[in-house]
Amino acid sequence: MTNKVALITGAARGQGRAHAARLSAEGADVILIDVAGPLPPGVPYDSATPDDLAETAKLVSANGRRAVTAAVDTRDHEALCAAVDDGVAELGRLDVIVANAGICVPSAWDQVSAQDFQDTIDVNVVGTWNTVMAGAKHIIAGGRGGSIILIGSAAGLTMEPFMIAYTASKHAVVGLARSFAAELGKHKIRVNSLHPGSVVTPMGSVELVEAMTSAAETNPILRHGIAKQLFPDTVMMPEDVADAVAWLASDQSKYVTAAAIPVDVGVTGT
C-alpha cells in the first residue's frame, strides 16, 4: 500500500478506525469520512464525535502517513462527493475505497418504525452506493486499477432475526458489490463485500444488546436458532476485520472480485 490512497467511511471509531490504522501502517494515505455527529434517533448506541475522528487521524499520523478528514453524512451525495474530491485533490490519487459506515436498529418485526427502516436503508445501502459513486471515478482516472471493499455483515449472508432492516440492507450490499464488480472490471477495479460477525465496537454496545434481548422476548425460540461461532471463547476485534481489509486492498488479492467473504468464525457456515 506504499504511497497509495484509501477512502474510508465510518472512520471515527470501531472498524473504520482499525482499517485506517492498518492501511496507513501498510503505507497508505487516507481520506477519513464520518458523520461525527448525531445518528438517526432510533439507533440505540452513542454517536461518534469530531474528537473521535481527530483521534483516528492522529493514529494515521503516528504511522507517518497523511490523513484528510471530513465530517459528512454518507447519505448526502453532493457533500460526500465534494469531500472526496477535496481529499483526492490534496493527496493526489485514489486507489482503495472501504465503504464501512453503517447503522443497526434491532427490533421485533412489528416494532420496526417506518423511519427506522428508512434510516437503515439510507445509511447502509444508499450511503454505500454514494461512497462508490464518489470515489470510483477517481480510481478510474488514475488508470492503475484498484480495490473497492463494501463492509457487509454476517447478516448479509444468513438469517438474522430481530434485524429486518439491517439484514435487508446487508444483503443489498452483496448485490451492490457484485454489480459494481461486473461494470468496473474493465478498469481493473476489484469490488468485494466483506462480512464480519460479532465484533467488539461501539455498535455492539450494552444498549444494542439490551435492544436485541428485548426483541428476542417476543419469539424466544429464535434465540436458540441463531448460528454460533465455531471456535470456542472467540472475541473478534476490529483489527481482525482490518486484516482482511488489508488483504483485499492489496495486490495479494489481485484476482479476487465479486466475492462475498465472511470473517465470522464460521457463523454463516452453520
Q: What are phi and psi of 153, to 5 degrees?
A: -170, 160
C-alpha cell at 80: 460526500
Joined grid coordinates for residue 41:
434517533
* Residue 85 to residue 113: CA distance in whole angstroms: 35
Which runs of consecutive H residues, i.e. helices, occur in 29-107?
50-62, 77-91
DSSP string, 144-178: S-EEEEEE--GGGTS--TT-HHHHHHHHHHHHHHH
Dist. CA 106–CA 100, nearest whole Å: 19
Provide the residue type at 197 as one letter.
G
* Burial (CB count within 10 angstroms: exposed 0-12, middle 13-18, buried 19+), residue 259: middle
β-pairing, 146-151 vs 260-263, is: unpaired
Grid cell, residue 90, equals 490534496
**Catalytic residue IDs:** 166
Query: What are φ and ψ of residue 33, in 5° steps?
Result: -115, 135
Containing H/E element for 184?
helix 164-184
The edge-to-edge listing of strands for the beta sheet with 146-151 is 67-71, 29-34, 5-9, 96-99, 146-151, 189-196, 260-263
